[in-house]
Amino acid sequence: MPGPVRTSDPLRPAAQPSRALVLVALAVFGVLALGPVAIMGQRIAAEPAALESLGDPRVIDLLVRTVLLGLGAAGIALAIGLPFGFLVARTNVFGASALRALGIVPILLPPIMLAMTWTMLLPLRGPWMCAFILGVSSFPLVSLFAARAAERIDARREEAALLTGGLRAVVRMELPLVLRPALGGALLAFIVAINEFALPDYVSSVGKKFNVYAGEVFSSWQVDGNEARAVVKAIPIVALTLIALVPILVARRGRSETIDASFQRPSPLRLGRWRLPATLFCLAAVTVGALLPLGRLAYESGGGSRVFSGVSIRRMGWTQGGGAAQNMPTTAPPTAAATSADARKEAVRAVQAAARAAAGQDPIDPKANTVAQATPLQRRRSVDFNAPEVKATEAAKKGDDVSDFGQGWPRFRENLVKAFVRALDLSRGSLISSLLFALIAATIALPIALVLGHAVARSRLGPLLTMLAIVPIAVPGTLFGIGTIVLWNHAATASIYDSGALVVLLFAGRFLAVPILICAGAVRSYDARLEESAHLVGAGPIKRLFTVVAPGVWTSLVGSWIVVFALSVRELDAAVLVPAANDTAMFRVFNAVHFGRDDFVSALSLLVVFAILLPGMLWSSFGRTRPRFLP
Amino acid sequence: MNLRTPALLDLRLGALLLALPLASCGDAPDLVVRVSLDQIFSEELMKEFEAETGLVVRAQYDIEQAKTVGHVRAIIEESKSRPRTDVFWNNEIAQTIRLAELGLLEAYDSPNAKDIPELFRDPERRWTGFGARARVLIVNTDMVPEGETPNGTLDLFDPKWAGKCGIALPLTGTTLTHATALYHVLGDEWARDFMQKVVAANGEGTVSLPNSNGQSMTLVANGELAWAWTDTDDFNVARMDGHPVRRVYPDQRAGDGVLSRDGEPLGTLLIPNTVMLLKDAPNPENAKRFIDWVLRREIEERLAFSRSAQIPVRDDVPRPDYVGKIGDFRVMQVDYAEVGKTIGARTEELTETFNR
């Protein structure tokens, strides 16, 4: 049986990358991605004693706890992602293609959005809830690897197993082949989990606090003269990330093979009576990771309640007594304030709405329950509550936030539309900024990633380049953001620092690692003999790269672009420090969330999610092939 | 094959790579203002200033997650190479004094600050306070009958409230200032013991530690907690959104749960907004125009009538009844300068206490 052809021989001369081009790309990568990290690293050199802070038992405890959280999240991601990836890629589950596409969504959603939903739905908090949400959020990393590995199993091999032992034998034969790549995906899920601190902070806001190491890194920046220690604190996270990557890289280099002409694509396995349960499992996975959070946001956008079962259960527990809650006063009899809450809400909203509409959309509200006064500073006029437009506004506002499904679909739909119009109206500029920044960052990253990805795959220095490529995405966002300020805030680069260009460079630098790895994988599985042929007819390394390799891996280039775009739209931790980045949609979502959840916040969150998914959806709709994220 | 094509291609690509970031460059603004007063309150004012003066302002807002680290750290880092911020509008005071202590502020005695009480003005005029917030308890009225309302700081440890009360993690924002003030007012030993008790109570699940005052407010408004510490602006947002909440000024009258010093209730902490001119600001004249504008009485009035319900520090500035006056409640007597000087060290200590 002809096997796959190994093509990754780094010594194959015709496939060697252009040194000049690699040096140029490395220089750009060095400035954008490594510069902010290196410049912060200098602070350790200036104060080596700061390294002692890593020996603090408290810090070690936090690190151990964070590793355990990462392992938990990776375990959950593996438990969901491995079967999911295999089922949607290789079996006849109903709607496999749609489920496969939907299965990518959870990793693209900001984890905090999942947290906002799941803390409302479940009365669970603390480390288990954190691990659950992080696992659910990152299972696509596992399923992508698992699906791709499962697709690369030759049909003849599978048929042999099927003939000898049926479906059970197929699973026994294929599981080891899929497990190793899936474990690689689980390690990536581990990396995502150990770098997250906003989510554990949010999830443990009620009950016992669950602190993680990344929070310690963030807090370290608040103390004056502590910069060196703050940078030092990032070292374990970076080290853990690089250590976690070693097995992935070793495995990938060992498996760097391509599918040759003799490869026979396997046909979908027929699951028989297991088809429905398998479909339900896949549906449950995408529901938990994507449909439910998105549905919840849509429900809230339409005026649905922001308080859900988790709260109800907890409150029920209190009012029924027991345990520490036994001394809690029983539910208060409806006080005058409580009984009049709805009426008050209506009155306040009506006044706000009327005054805003009549006085020129001033978000600084006028005196509650009184007519807005024209102060010397204000250009707004006082409100005539008998004016038709005010009455109309009042009438329209009265329906806000009370629709729920109990009020029927038309009211829900009306509120939904209203919420989206308001979100678009107030945040149009931010959404456009987000899209533009992300679009430019992704476009800049692409050629650099192609050059360096090719170098990673074809040169002797591949493993070293990979490790270097990972560094900017492995360091905490705060460190990268501050490093970017330090690096670019000079007179010579003033026009960049003071403009949106800095945001673009920050996004491109921080996320370049991802397209580099995607391109490296794609190039590794691309037959080097084609480059050799081009070499024989006189094509130089640059021409080979752009006219032979690039067209051969173009679906991976599309995948790379989409990933950088999506990551850029949802970036917040580093961008928040940079002056020009505060007009992004994610920034607005987080500012709005601070003041509670309302239909506007939910609608804006959905718009951000839509922006994140937009290129992928467009490509899926109009492209003839799927974008590739893995070779 | 034509070997010249790649060079051309390379050139085109290079041009594209160069052009794309350049396309995102724009004209430098006339004024750079960092604002930690929440964006939903301050953005419209910034636009109004632009419209009135014709100046192009780059307003850098904050997010709850990045409080302190965001603005103060960025200002410190910028100052080391090339100061880019003209004005910092801080919604609290301790970090302002920290910046003053670091020598990063320029004195400016705004003519519009003449009627602001000296308590809220730096003797060296490096900063000026206005529109204040008070630390308060937000109480869910559906869950807590009027007679059962908590009274003060020590109610956090009352078994009656086990699992139903909270205070934001004191590592950022006004809760950090509050915690630092307790060290200053009641002594290091007492404050350390108190913080350890909060950590222990959280370990037992009896006191929750939300990540911000905004989240504390949301948890109470939604009924996930019966009451929590927050600021008057967050309380007012919940009130105006029609949530069943009431405001309690803590530590006002001697009694159970109330924190006292020398037999007198401690009162609650008042935290003014502060505005300051940064040292070596690139646009100092425009910065002064902005500071003068913000310190106008009308702005304090606007802030009082806004959803953030800031309490004017000038007694005679009009305000709605629900905002009240500074004399309406007992205020914790605290030396802001001392709090500001020690906030860095306290942050480190509190991080070690709470991040475990």
Q: What is the pLDDT of residues B217-226, one digit of tens each?
A: 989 998 989 9
pLDDT at A625: 78
Give contacts of B159 with chain A, Cβ < 8 Å. 324, 327
pLDDT at A157: 83
Which one is predicted more confidently, A409 or B25? A409
Please check the confidence at residue A344 and state whether its pLDDT lies above 50: no
Read off the pLDDT band of B16 (50, 70, 90): low
Is B19 touching A (CB cutoff 8 A)? no
- Judge: A440–B218 Cβ closer than 8 Å, yes or no: no
- Judge: A222–B7 Cβ closer than 8 Å, yes or no: no
pLDDT at A533: 83
The stretch A533-544 carries a mean pLDDT of 82
Structural element, H or E, at residue B60: strand B57-60
Which one is predicted more confidently, A334 or A428? A428
Read off the pLDDT band of A244 (50, 70, 90): confident
Give contacts of A589 with chain B, Cβ < 8 Å. none
- % of residues, chain B, pLDDT over 90: 63
Please check the confidence at residue B113 and state whether its pLDDT lies above 50: yes
pLDDT at A478: 79
Give contacts of A211 with chain B, Cβ < 8 Å. 354-356
- Judge: B306–A306 Cβ closer than 8 Å, yes or no: no
Give contacts of A219 with chain B, Cβ < 8 Å. 171, 347, 351, 355
Q: Identify which of B193, B317, B170, B280 has the alpha carbon closest to the alpha carbon of residue A375.
A: B317
pLDDT at A352: 44
Which one is predicted more confidently, A582 or A446? A446
Give contacts of B64 with chain A, Cβ < 8 Å. 590-591, 594
CA distance A298 to chain B (A): 19
Mean predicted lDDT score pLDDT of chain A? 77
Judge whether A526 and A548 are in contact, CB under 8 Å: no
Sign of torsion over alpha carbons A20, A22, A25, A30: negative
- Judge: A500–B16 Cβ closer than 8 Å, yes or no: no
The stretch A194-213 carries a mean pLDDT of 88
Residues making up chain B, counted from first to last:
356
CA distance A610 to chain B (A): 22
CA atoms within 13 A on the CB side of A356: 18
pLDDT at B65: 58
Query: How far is it, in rounded angstroms, from Cα A541 to Cα B36?
Result: 52
pLDDT at B255: 87
pLDDT at B184: 93
Give contacts of B17 with chain A, Cβ < 8 Å. 28, 444, 447-448
CA distance A289 to chain B (A): 24
Judge whether B195 and B350 are in contact, CB under 8 Å: yes
DSSP H helical segments within chain B, as ranges? 5-23, 39-53, 74-81, 94-101, 173-186, 188-203, 213-221, 232-240, 284-294, 297-305, 336-354
pLDDT at A596: 57
- Judge: B246–A539 Cβ closer than 8 Å, yes or no: no
- Judge: B32–A28 Cβ closer than 8 Å, yes or no: no
pLDDT at B67: 59
Which one is predicted more confidently, A12 or A431? A431
- % of residues, chain A, pLDDT over 90: 23
Structural element, H or E, at residue B135: strand B127-140
- Judge: A582–B61 Cβ closer than 8 Å, yes or no: yes
Mean predicted lDDT score pLDDT of chain B? 88
The stretch B182-211 carries a mean pLDDT of 94
Which one is predicted more confidently, B250 or A16? B250
Query: How far is it, in rounded angstroms, from Cα B125 to Cα B108?
Result: 6
Please check the confidence at residue B88 and state whether its pLDDT lies above 90: yes
Most B CBs within 10 Å: which of A594, A600, A602, A604, as the mutation test of the B interface? A594
Is B299 touching A (CB cutoff 8 A)? yes
pLDDT at A132: 95
- Judge: A318–B60 Cβ closer than 8 Å, yes or no: no
Query: How far is it, in rounded angstroms, from Cα A568 to Cα A137?
Result: 17
pLDDT at B320: 93
Is B103 touching A (CB cutoff 8 A)? no
Give contacts of A21 with chain B, Cβ < 8 Å. 10
Please check the confidence at residue A445 and state whether its pLDDT lies above 90: yes
- This model of the complex carries an ipTM of 0.80
pLDDT at A462: 83
B135 beta partners: B231
Read off the pLDDT band of A363 (50, 70, 90): very low
- Judge: B242–A344 Cβ closer than 8 Å, yes or no: yes
Per-residue pLDDT of A404-438, as tens digits, reads 445 677 888 888 888 888 888 888 888 998 999 99
Give contacts of B345 with chain A, Cβ < 8 Å. 223
Q: Which of residues 267-296 of B touch A (CB under 8 A)?
A: 296
Most B CBs within 10 Å: which of A320, A342, A365, as the mutation test of the B interface? A365
Nearest to A591 among B6, B38, B145 (CB): B38
- Judge: A576–B41 Cβ closer than 8 Å, yes or no: no
Please check the confidence at residue B2 and state whether its pLDDT lies above 50: no
Give contacts of B205 with chain A, Cβ < 8 Å. 207-208, 324
Read off the pLDDT band of B40 (50, 70, 90): confident
- % of residues, chain A, pLDDT over 70: 77
Read off the pLDDT band of A358 (50, 70, 90): very low
Nearest to A538 among B1, B78, B224 (CB): B1
- Judge: B163–A366 Cβ closer than 8 Å, yes or no: no
- Judge: A594–B320 Cβ closer than 8 Å, yes or no: no
Per-residue pLDDT of A25-45, as tens digits, reads 999 999 999 999 999 888 888
Per-residue pLDDT of B314-330, as tens digits, reads 999 999 988 989 888 99
**Chain-centroid distance, C-alpha A92:** 29
Task: Give the CA distances from residue A230 to residues A236, A242, A338, A482, A575, in Å, rounded to whole numbers and listed in that order.
Answer: 12, 19, 48, 11, 18
The stretch A299-321 carries a mean pLDDT of 53
Please check the confidence at residue A441 and state whether its pLDDT lies above 50: yes
Please check the confidence at residue A88 and state whether its pLDDT lies above 90: yes
Nearest to B356 among A58, A307, A444 (CB): A58
Which one is predicted more confidently, B44 or A353? B44
Please check the confidence at residue A252 and state whether its pLDDT lies above 90: no
Nearest to A219 among B102, B171, B344 (CB): B171
Nearest to A365 among B9, B217, B306 (CB): B306
pLDDT at A181: 85
Give contacts of B344 with chain A, Cβ < 8 Å. 222-225
pLDDT at B180: 94
CA distance A461 to chain B (A): 23
Which one is predicted more confidently, A394 or A30? A30
Question: Which phi-psi region, left, alpha or beta, contains residue B334 (left: φ > 0; alpha: ψ -120 to 50)?
Answer: beta
Q: Which of residues 23-52 of B touch A (CB under 8 A)?
A: 23-26, 28-29, 32, 38-41, 43-45, 48
